[in-house]
Amino acid sequence: MPLQYASHELRTPIAIVKSNAELLQQLWSDAPENCRPPLQRIIRAGKTMHHLTETLLWLGREEMSQPKSLQFRLDLLIQQLIKEHRYLLKGKAVELKIKLNEIMVCQAETLIRILMANLIRNAMQHIDEGLISITLTNQQLTIQNTGILLNGITADDKSLDSFGLGLKLVRQICQQQAWFFETRVESNSYLAKIDLINDEQQK
Domain of residue 55 covers 2-60
- What pLDDT does residue 159 have? 43
Residue 187 has pLDDT above 70, yes or no: yes
What dihedral do alpha carbons 149, 153, 159, 163 form, nearest 10°? -40
| Shared domain check, 51 and 77 | no
- What pLDDT does residue 153 have? 53
| Shared domain check, 162 and 75 | yes
| Shared domain check, 115 and 19 | no
User: With helix as H, strand as E and coil as C, how does 28-88 read?
Assistant: CCCCCHHHHHHHHHHHHHHHHHHHHHHHHHHHHCCCCCCCCCEEEEHHHHHHHHHHHHHHH
CATH of the domain at 79: 3.30.565.10
- Examine residue 65 and state whether it is found in any structural domain, yes or no: no
What tens digit of pLDDT does each residue of 72-99 get? 999 999 999 999 889 889 899 999 999 9
- Examine residue 102 and state whether it is found in any structural domain, yes or no: yes
Maximum mean pLDDT: which of 17-21, 76-80, 159-163, 170-174 = 76-80
Local confidence band at 101 (pLDDT 50, 70, 90 cut-offs): very high
Are residues 77 and 108 in contact, defined by beta-carbon separation less than 8 angstroms? no
| Shared domain check, 158 and 103 | yes
| Shared domain check, 176 and 111 | yes
Domain count, the chain: 2
Long-range contacts of 20-28 (CB under 8 A, 24+ apart): 21/46, 22/46
What tens digit of pLDDT does each residue of 103-158 get? 999 998 888 988 898 899 889 988 889 999 999 998 899 999 998 876 555 444 44
| Shared domain check, 92 and 53 | no
Dihedral pair phi/psi, residue 187, rounded to 5°: -55, -45
Closest residue by Cα to residue 51 from 5, 18, 75? 18
- What pLDDT does residue 167 have? 79
- Examine residue 54 and state whether it is found in any structural domain, yes or no: yes
DSSP 105: E
- Examine residue 133 and state whether it is found in any structural domain, yes or no: yes
| Shared domain check, 133 and 50 | no
Q: How many helices (H) and strands (E) does the chain have?
A: 6, 7
Residue 173 has pLDDT above 90, yes or no: no
- Examine residue 91 and state whether it is found in any structural domain, yes or no: yes
What tens digit of pLDDT does each residue of 21-71 get? 888 888 777 778 787 788 888 887 887 777 777 777 777 765 556 778 999
- Examine residue 75 and state whether it is found in any structural domain, yes or no: yes
| Shared domain check, 76 and 127 | yes
* Backbone conformation region of residue 130, classed left if phi is above 0, alpha if psi is from -120 to 50, else beta: left
CA distance 1 to 4: 5
Which of residues 60, 85, 100 is at a domain's end?
60
